[in-house]
């Protein structure tokens, strides 16, 4: 199936990126640790990412890809290329001005997003300096994402999926050369800036290679651009409030003792592995395909695309969430408890990861649910779901942190529950559409996948007492890795056995998919 092949391509390359990312995070934990300089860098990293996700992965891309796909389907490549060139030019000049203004206003921005830093003689000036270095990444990555959207619409998914690998490799090189910089935080900030340049050049190369050329032109406010901006308004709000979720977490965490922001960061890095490999892969592959099916009026194709995407999400997301929930402590200890990262840091990060895991399946399904709306160019419904979930998240975070003894893990739990609230809201709207209703095959598979996940969780809980010696504080790294491999391998084996035994996934179907993926 074309969708499965595209998802496999994106997920595979995203997986390589996440592996490089773990290498980066292990180096970061050992060299940067979880102290004030780390807190300052993570603020500097989040700041351009906030606006990038609004302009690149959020409002602009979500509005642009369906319009570009529709233009390509109905009016041909020449008209689509003119539209892309006009959109590229408008994004370039708008973000160039915005980037310059934001860098000048950085002290006020830091006061807004990390108010707990204002009286800190180290974190406040450091976060301003590092944010000014990283902020141009917004411009570079936004233009990269637009080119990635063009390639995805032509079913060329690999280049944009590979771009994050360059990001992680750039930061690894920066960390290894950190002794030539003022601090490891400065090294990583320059690594972020360098990564933006590399990613932009990579996508530009593939745009030229496949001859999907467009040229920078005099900006023209055409009817299609008007529609693009009209569709962007709700998605800007939607993407913006989702990032407010993240910044609300950081603002609240900045009021806690030093290290809280770092605990959230390291835990979220692990939480993002399945979110990236599954959620992003599904959303990236599904949006242009579903947009084309709807534009062509093929309800049978769109229904099959939607249900198979849901099936794959559940098949991969549920065991991943279960594994991270049960094995959070040994995973964090093995990966990060080295150098400047202390046993207490590992314990606190593991608690945060356990809370994040509760919401992981929800955030993966949000990708599919929201894509089903965006493919119809309905950007308003996901916006309201995001707004409601954000208000809920902030209120619950404040309650759990300020009025209960939960501390930093309360922030993660509130974020997780906000994801499930979004699922409820978006799911109710999709039931009205015939091609986004669950079919019989998905319902049957879902029950079997839940049973397999429960069996895996039971097996892991029974096995953990027998592996405690692998994770003692003085245990060698190779010993910890061995213990973790035994637990993960055993849990995966139980899950696979139940999945195949119940027929949730048939071996013949897997062979068929693998055969198609090789073509």
pLDDT > 60? residue 219: yes
Mean pLDDT (the chain) is: 83
Task: Say if residue 453 is in the same domain as residue 432.
Answer: no
Contact present, 345 and 259 (Cβ < 8 Å):
yes
Residue 163 in this model has a pLDDT that exceeds 70? yes
Taking the whole predicted model, whether its pTM rises above 0.85 is answered as: no
- Which of residues 438, 465, 487 is at a domain's end? 438
365, 280 in Cβ contact below 8 A?
Answer: no
Does one domain contain both 220 and 257?
A: yes
121 and 178 co-located in one domain: yes
Q: Which DSSP state fits 435? A: G
As for how many domains the chain has, the answer is 2
Is there a single domain that holds both residue 220 and residue 159? Answer: yes
Predicted pLDDT at 239: 65
User: Residue 507's domain spans which residues?
Assistant: 439-519
- Give the mean pLDDT of 133-144: 90
pLDDT at 386: 86
Q: Tell whether the model's pLDDT for residue 340 goes beyond 80.
A: no
> 241 and 369: one domain?
yes
For 174, the 3-state DSSP assignment is: helix
> What distance separates the 2 farthest-apart alpha carbons in the chain?
68
Closest CA to 496 of 455, 466, 467: 455
480/333 same-domain check: no
| pLDDT band at 516; cut points 50, 70, 90 | very low
Domain boundary among the residues 404, 438, 472 is at 438
> DSSP characters for 219-247?
----HHHHHHHHHHHHHHHHHHHHHHHHH
pLDDT class of 59 with cuts at 50, 70, 90 = low
Instruction: Tell me which of 406, 423, 438 is where a domain ends.
Output: 438
The count of other CB atoms within 10 Å of the CB of residue 5 is 18
Comparison of pLDDT for 24 and 197, the residue scoring more: 197
- Give the Cα separation of 352 and 259 in Å (integer): 12
For residue 513, the model assigns a pLDDT of: 46
Is there a single domain that holds both residue 422 and residue 490?
no
Reported as a single tens digit per residue, the pLDDT across 96-132 is: 999 999 999 999 988 887 777 877 778 888 889 999 9
Element (H, E) at 261: helix 260-274
pLDDT value for 215: 72
Both 424 and 514 in one domain: the answer is no
Query: Do 431 and 443 share a domain, yes or no?
Result: no
């Amino acid at each position: 199936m074309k969708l499965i092949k595209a998802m496999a391509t994106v997920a595979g390359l995203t997986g390589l990126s996440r592996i490089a990312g773990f290498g980066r995070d292990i180096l970061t934990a050992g060299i940067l640790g979880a102290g004030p300089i780390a807190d300052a860098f993570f603020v500097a990293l989040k700041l351009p990412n906030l606006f990038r996700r609004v302009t690149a992965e959020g409002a602009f891309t979500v509005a642009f890809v369906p319009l570009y796909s529709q233009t390509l389907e109905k009016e041909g490549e020449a008209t689509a290329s003119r539209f892309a060139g006009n959109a590229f030019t408008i994004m370039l000049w708008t973000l160039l001005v915005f980037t310059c203004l934001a860098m000048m206003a950085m002290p006020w921005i830091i006061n807004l997003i990390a108010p707990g830093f204002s009286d800190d003689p180290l974190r406040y000036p450091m976060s301003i300096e590092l944010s000014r270095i990283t902020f141009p990444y917004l411009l570079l990555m936004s233009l990269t994402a637009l080119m990635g959207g063009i390639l995805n619409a032509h079913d060329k998914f690999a280049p944009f999926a590979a771009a994050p690998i360059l990001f992680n490799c750039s930061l690894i090189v920066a960390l290894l050369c950190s002794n030539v910089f003022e601090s490891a935080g400065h090294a990583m900030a320059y690594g972020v800036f360098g990564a933006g340049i590399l990613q932009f050049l990579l996508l530009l190369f593939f745009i030229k290679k496949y001859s999907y050329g467009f040229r920078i032109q005099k900006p023209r406010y055409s009817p299609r651009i008007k529609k693009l901006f009209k569709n962007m308004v709700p998605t800007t709000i939607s993407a913006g409030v989702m990032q407010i979720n993240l910044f609300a977490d950081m603002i609240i965490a900045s009021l806690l003792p030093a290290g809280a922001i770092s605990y959230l960061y390291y835990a979220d890095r692990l939480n993002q592995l399945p979110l990236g490999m599954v959620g992003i892969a599904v959303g990236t592959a599904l949006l242009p395909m579903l947009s084309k099916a709807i534009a062509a009026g093929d309800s049978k194709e769109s229904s099959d695309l939607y249900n198979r995407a849901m099936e794959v999400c559940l098949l991969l997301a549920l065991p991943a969430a279960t594994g991270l929930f049960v094995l959070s402590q040994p995973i964090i200890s093995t990966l990060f408890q080295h150098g400047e990262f202390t046993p207490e840091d590992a314990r606190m990060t593991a608690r945060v990861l356990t809370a994040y895991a509760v919401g992981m399946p929800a955030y993966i399904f949000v990708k599919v649910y929201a894509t089903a709306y965006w493919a119809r160019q309905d950007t308003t419904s996901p916006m309201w779901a995001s707004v409601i979930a954000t208000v809920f998240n902030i209120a619950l975070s404040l309650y759990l942190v300020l009025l209960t003894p939960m501390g930093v893990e309360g922030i993660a739990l509130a974020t997780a529950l906000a994801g499930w609230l979004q699922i409820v809201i978006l799911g109710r709207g999709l039931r009205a559409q015939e091609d986004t209703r669950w079919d019989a095959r998905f319902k049957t598979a879902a029950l079997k996948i839940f049973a397999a996940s429960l069996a895996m969780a039971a097996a892991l809980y029974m096995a953990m007492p027998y592996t405690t010696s692998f994770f003692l504080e003085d245990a060698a790294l190779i010993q910890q890795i061995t213990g973790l491999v035994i637990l993960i391998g055993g849990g995966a084996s139980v899950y696979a056995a139940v999945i195949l035994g119940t027929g949730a996934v048939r071996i013949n179907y897997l062979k068929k998919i693998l055969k198609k993926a090789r073509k």
